[in-house]
Amino acid sequence: MTNNESQITNYESRIYIAGHRGMVGSAVWRALEAKGYSNIIGKTSKELDLRNQQAVTDFINNEQPDIIIDAAARVGGILANNEYPYPFLMENLQIQNNLIDAAHKADVAKFIFLGSSCIYPKFAPQPLKEEYLLTDSLEPTNEWYAIAKIAGVKACEAIRKQFGKDFVSLMPTNLYGPNDNFDLKSSHVLPAMMRKFHEAKATNAPVELWGSGTPMREFLHVDDLAQGVIFAVENILPEHLYNVGTGTDVTIKELAETIQSIVGHKGEIVWDSTKPDGTPRKLMDSSKLRALGWSPKFSLNDGILDTYNWFNSHQSDYKKVVI
């Protein structure tokens, strides 16, 4: 628990999770249910288009949630960010601005905004601290998404500063886990590798991976992030921005070899050095949130095994796993 005033946990609180069917939103939903929260609200994108300001305003006014968790975003890896810069910028701005503004105007008690470690400068000192935000230029391959998320962080900070409301931003490191996106055109590095090794496993065919394998990345199981969100739900956090990570990182090559071993692929790994590496290193300093009482539980090996088990158990529902 925090050293600051702690909220009285009310398991009847109306909690709206934006993006409840995504990897993060579904993990938060599972974690809330497991703790006994019984009044959780979710709407699919067909039921509620979060890019539509009037629709979002009407929904928030009608539902009157006590807490909003914004886990909705247009997301993707280097390839998707490079090919679709405008929707990655504009759609994310629309989604978060509509939710934040509607929550503020409806006097929602608590708003938890979820972002990404890509908000920090490309060459910021390691590990990344919250105060490094806006101190240098961004990584060009995902700056469109990053700029949108930075705007969300600053909007929540502005509301907190001007109106004293409990709007807080959590910035997770690279996430993975159940309900991840395994589409090779739009997925992030870990699920993309998992699918490639899985598909090559039967014949042990070579697997080609992007870049040199030398960049270092930190990975957090989505269920650990979900516990961080619950921590923010149940406590009044003293600052507006918190990193959420494990505090350890591995090279992309080490990640690939770990996934290859868990999947059981015996073939060669071929690195295509003509493809971009992205940021050379991205390790987050999560000491502020850890000092308040949150900590991750999954090791990387156990988390990857858990994710691969989920992947295998959903092969019959292939539209969820592979596009």
Contact 262, 305 (CB under 8 A): yes
- Rounded CA gap, 238 and 236, in Å? 6
How many H helices and E strands in the chain? 11, 13
Q: Which residues make Cβ contacts (< 8 Å) with residue 44, sequence separation at least 6?
A: 21
Residue 30, marked binder: no
Q: How many residues does the chain have?
A: 323
pLDDT, residue 184, reads 81
Residue 87, marked binder: no
Residue 76 lies in a domain: yes
pLDDT, residue 102, reads 98
The CATH number of whichever domain residue 132 belongs to comes to: 3.40.50.720
Residue 303, marked binder: no
Residue ranges making up the domain that contains 161: 15-178+219-247+282-298
Residue 320, marked binder: no
pLDDT, residue 318, reads 44
Residue 197 lies in a domain: no
Among residues 16, 120, 145, 176, which one is catalytic?
145
- Rounded CA gap, 71 and 96, in Å? 9
Q: Do you find a cis peptide bond into 65, omega within 30 degrees of 0? A: no
Residue 261 lies in a domain: no
Strands 250-251 and 216-217, bridge-based pairing: antiparallel
Residue 193 lies in a domain: no
Active site residue 120: no
Note the pLDDT tens digit of each residue in 32-89.
Answer: 999 999 999 999 999 999 999 999 999 999 999 999 999 999 877 677 777 889 999 9
Residue 70 lies in a domain: yes
Say how far residue 225 (Cα) sits from the centre of its chain: 8
User: How many domains does the chain contain in total?
Assistant: 1
Note the pLDDT tens digit of each residue in 273-296.
Answer: 999 887 788 899 999 999 999 999
Residue 210, marked binder: yes
pLDDT, residue 195, reads 95
Contact 201, 259 (CB under 8 A): no
- Rounded CA gap, 83 and 152, in Å? 23
Residue 6 lies in a domain: no
Residue 213 lies in a domain: no
Residue 174, marked binder: yes
pLDDT, residue 4, reads 43
Residue 154 lies in a domain: yes
- Rounded CA gap, 5 and 243, in Å? 21
pLDDT, residue 266, reads 97
Residue 188, marked binder: yes
Q: What is the pLDDT along the chain (323 residues), one digit of tens a residue?
A: 344 445 556 899 999 999 999 999 999 999 999 999 999 999 999 999 999 999 999 999 999 999 999 999 987 767 777 788 999 999 999 999 999 999 999 999 999 999 999 999 988 999 999 999 999 999 888 899 999 999 999 999 999 999 999 999 999 999 999 999 898 877 789 999 999 999 999 999 999 999 999 999 999 999 999 999 999 999 999 999 999 999 999 999 999 999 999 999 999 999 999 998 877 888 999 999 999 999 999 999 999 999 999 999 987 654 444 43
